[in-house]
């Protein structure tokens, strides 16, 4: 493949949008990022303003186009986006509410009724446990709390962004598969799920494949951003499945672990597999591919909150500054954090236990513990939570994992990758670029444009391999057992104590 053409991958995340340029071999060239806030108007409510996000995408596209050197052709624009989001639009496409994100748990009071009414086969068809994280439950909440017009549309934030760019209201199979509304093998809206939500297909966008291509940008968007009219827009997929593709974690026995605002672990499979116990989810990755995994919720967000509380000037320093200092301090503490344990479920536990009443805690505090011990315990607690998901995956697959690919904001840390390898007892691969989801979108885009036949056409990014330490692994096995026992006791307390707020 030549290098005279580039593809622009747009990743609509929860903390900001990134527009990343890749060459025809999916090598990273450069990126532009625009941040935007998360809104927390009430406990359990996690929202974002859809117009703020759409405006950020448009501005980021404009800046990215300006970075394309003269003589280089923009082959297409492809999309990755956060999953689980939902908002309501009126008939004219105007938002009627903010976008409810993955961390929003306001619909938890809908779950008992949903679980009681759902058939045993619903999870098998949709791949989604019946839980508050999913748009199915959130739609029920919106319908009871808002006065919605008869012709309301329920869409993801990605659907809305594409609507603002093209005037077309579409949902790709991958993003839609994290709604609890899609039959993940037939690629159609599931009739039972729609009935439970009190909606019909007319209330949802038209479904298209992850490789679907649009050519008709709205004229004002082309004029504002500088994107040439007719430039292919590849609809793309959800950010979690694309991260597996981007780092090359598609082979048997490999696991992709992402630690960003949230944290998750997932494996790629060419045939759909659903956990009958509802501990894990199964989402569409691409044509002929699915990912199975679990999310623990606010992983990086939990850590950042702790840093702001514990480090001097934490509320007034940049996230990068806080992470650098915290990394140095956590590295100075021994593995095991001086017998200090941390439970990280600040926004409730999701996979594998699914308990919205769970909270966070430090346990084992003594006078000898210093800031470095608390920071080390926080790292270990978040990774123990991820380890719970990975062990559930091994149980489901009845096969051991032999390699983990780490993505997200902690790949440059001296503590996180090594601690993950020591806990899991397997090598951890740290890619040279943090652009995993956007690289996956670029790969999918090139395949959709006919420039490659498969993922194998793209060499994995250069990476660093971290080997586990046997002695530390043995220590962490004991600490993990203590973590699980403590977490169970805290869950029992939360469930018996009524309203945790």
- Can you give the C-alpha Rg of the chain in angstroms? 22
Using an 8 Å Cβ cutoff, are 247 and 436 in contact?
yes
Is residue 432 situated within a structural domain? no
Q: Measured between alpha carbons, how far is 158 from 333 in angstroms, rounded to an integer?
A: 42
Is residue 500 pLDDT above 50, yes or no?
no
| Helix orientation angle between 416-424 and 470-496, rounded to the nearest 10 degrees | 90
Q: From 131, 205, 137, 138, select the one nearest 173 (Cα to Cα).
A: 205
What is the model's pLDDT at position 501? 42
Question: What integer is the mean pLDDT of 90-101?
Answer: 97
Report the CATH number at residue 138.
Answer: 3.30.420.40
For 189, the 3-state DSSP assignment is strand
Per-residue pLDDT of 203-234, as tens digits, reads 999 999 999 999 999 999 999 999 999 999 99
Using an 8 Å Cβ cutoff, are 343 and 388 in contact?
no
Q: Token pair for residue 283?
A: 């989402």
Is residue 230 situated within a structural domain? yes
Is residue 271 situated within a structural domain? no
Question: What integer is the mean pLDDT of 427-445?
Answer: 92
Using an 8 Å Cβ cutoff, are 10 and 60 in contact?
yes
Is residue 463 pLDDT above 90, yes or no?
no
Is residue 325 situated within a structural domain? no
Q: Token pair for residue 452?
A: 């490659």
* H helix runs in 311-370, sequence order: 319-332
Q: From 28, 33, 30, 27, select the one nearest 11 (Cα to Cα).
A: 33
Structural domain total, the chain: 1
Is residue 26 situated within a structural domain? yes
For 349, the 3-state DSSP assignment is strand
Is residue 342 situated within a structural domain? no
What is the model's pLDDT at position 325? 94
What is the model's pLDDT at position 498? 57
Using an 8 Å Cβ cutoff, are 162 and 168 in contact?
yes
Residue 47: domain span: 5-247
How many Cα atoms are found within 13 Å in the side-chain-facing hemisphere of 199? 29
- 348 pLDDT tier (thresholds 50, 70, 90): confident
Is residue 223 situated within a structural domain? yes
- 3 pLDDT tier (thresholds 50, 70, 90): low
Q: Measured between alpha carbons, how far is 252 from 391 in angstroms, rounded to an integer?
A: 15
Q: From 261, 256, 260, 246, select the one nearest 292 (Cα to Cα).
A: 256
């Amino acid at each position: 493949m030549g290098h005279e053409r580039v593809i622009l991958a747009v990743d609509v995340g929860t903390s900001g949008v990134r527009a990343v340029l890749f060459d025809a071999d999916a090598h990273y060239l450069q990126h532009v990022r625009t941040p935007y806030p998360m809104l927390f108007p009430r406990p359990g409510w996690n929202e974002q303003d859809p117009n703020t996000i759409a405006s950020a995408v448009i501005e980021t596209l404009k800046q990215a186009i300006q970075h394309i050197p003269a003589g280089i052709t923009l082959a297409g624009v492809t999309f990755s986006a956060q999953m689980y989001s939902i908002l309501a639009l009126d008939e004219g496409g105007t938002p009627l509410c903010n976008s409810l994100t993955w961390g929003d748990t306001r619909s938890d009071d809908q779950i008992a009724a949903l679980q009681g009414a759902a058939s045993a086969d619903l999870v098998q068809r949709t791949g989604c446990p019946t839980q508050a994280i999913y748009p199915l439950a959130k739609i029920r909440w919106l319908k009871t709390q808002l006065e919605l017009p008869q012709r309301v549309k329920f869409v993801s934030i990605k659907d809305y962004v594409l609507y603002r760019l093209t005037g077309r209201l579409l949902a790709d199979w991958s993003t839609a598969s994290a709604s609890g509304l899609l039959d993940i093998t037939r690629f159609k809206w599931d009739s039972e799920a729609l009935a439970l939500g009190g909606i019909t297909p007319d209330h949802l966008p038209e479904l298209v494949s992850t490789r679907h291509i649009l050519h008709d940008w709205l004229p004002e968007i082309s004029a504002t951003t500088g994107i040439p009219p007719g430039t292919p827009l590849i609809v793309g997929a959800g950010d979690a499945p694309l991260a597996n593709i981007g780092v090359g974690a598609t082979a048997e026995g490999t696991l992709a672990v992402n630690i960003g605002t949230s944290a998750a672990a997932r494996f790629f499979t060419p045939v759909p597999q659903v956990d009958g116990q509802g501990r894990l989810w199964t989402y569409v990755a691409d044509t002929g591919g699915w990912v199975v995994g679990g999310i623990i919720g606010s992983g990086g967000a939990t850590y950042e909150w702790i840093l702001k509380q514990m480090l001097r000037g934490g509320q007034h320093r940049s996230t990068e500054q806080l992470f650098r200092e915290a990394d140095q301090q956590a590295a100075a503490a021994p593995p095991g954090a001086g017998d200090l344990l941390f439970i990280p479920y600040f926004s409730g536990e999701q996979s594998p236990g699914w308990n919205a009443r769970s909270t966070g805690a430090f346990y084992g505090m003594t006078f000898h513990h210093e800031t470095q011990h608390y920071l080390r315990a926080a790292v270990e607690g978040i990774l123990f939570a991820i380890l719970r998901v990975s062990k559930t995956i091994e149980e489901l697959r009845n096969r051991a994992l032999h390699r983990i690919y780490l993505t997200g904001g902690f790949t440059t840390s001296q503590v996180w990758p090594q601690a993950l390898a020591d806990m899991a007892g397997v090598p951890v691969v740290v890619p040279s670029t943090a652009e995993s989801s956007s690289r996956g979108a670029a790969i999918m885009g090139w395949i959709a444009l006919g420039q490659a036949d498969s993922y194998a056409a793209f060499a994995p990014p250069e990476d660093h391999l971290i080997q586990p330490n046997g002695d530390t692994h043995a220590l962490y096995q004991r600490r993990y057992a203590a973590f699980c026992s403590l977490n169970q006791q805290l869950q029992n307390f939360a469930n018996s104590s009524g309203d945790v707020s």
